[in-house]
Amino acid sequence: MAERKGRILLGKLGEGHKEAQLNLAKSLGKAGFEVIYTELKEPEAIVRSSLHESADHIGITTLKGADIRVFEEIIRLLKAENADYISITAGGFLDDEDIERIKKMGVMAFFPKGTTFDEIVEWSRENIKIKQP
């Protein structure tokens, strides 16, 4: 039986262009991950979709105007569903103090604007764990 590919659900916070997120989805797909591309912003929708899609990981793009309290709610909802095995990362635009705050909430890593797709793919290969089928 073939080994299952890691499944990554992509969501976003804030307003702005989606080109970088689309390119990230393509890069992760070429690297062997199954990518569920969404433009979901609401914590409930992100968690519901990650459960429905059997995601192993949630990647959130943070754009201008992103409210970091959303991360706290996503983490709370995952725990309420006994799905805190789904890891979370973020990338894009955040102040240094907000980056530290989301990491304390449980976000594994933050990739600031300028991080290459290759760096994100490498991190993903090393850190995203596939949950049991």
Q: Per the domain annotation, does 1 fall within a domain?
A: no
Q: Examine residue 39 and state whether it is found in any structural domain, yes or no.
A: yes
Instruction: Assign residue 59 the CATH number of its domain.
Output: 3.40.50.280
The rounded distance, in Å, linking the Cα atoms of 24 and 10 is 9
Residue 94 domain-assigned? yes
> Is residue 104 one of the residues assigned to a domain?
yes
Question: What is the tens place of the pLDDT at every residue in 34-49?
Answer: 999 988 889 999 999 9
- Determine the pLDDT at residue 63: 85
Give the Cα separation of 14 and 74 in Å (integer).
Answer: 15
How many separate domains does the chain show? 1
11 in a structural domain: yes
Residues 122-129, mean pLDDT to the nearest whole number: 94
Output the pTM of the full model: 0.92
Residue 132 inside a domain? The answer is: no
Q: What is the mean pLDDT of the chain?
A: 91
**Does the residue 130 lie in any domain?**
no
Asked if the model's pLDDT at residue 132 lies above 60, the reply is no
Helix spans in the chain (H): 19-30, 43-52, 69-80, 96-105, 117-127
The one-letter code for the residue type at 81 is E
- Please determine, for residue 125, whether its predicted confidence score (pLDDT) is greater than 90: yes
d(CA 106, CA 91): 14
What's the domain range around 84? 7-124
Across 61-65, 98-102, 110-114, least confident range = 61-65
Query: Is 115 domain-assigned?
Result: yes
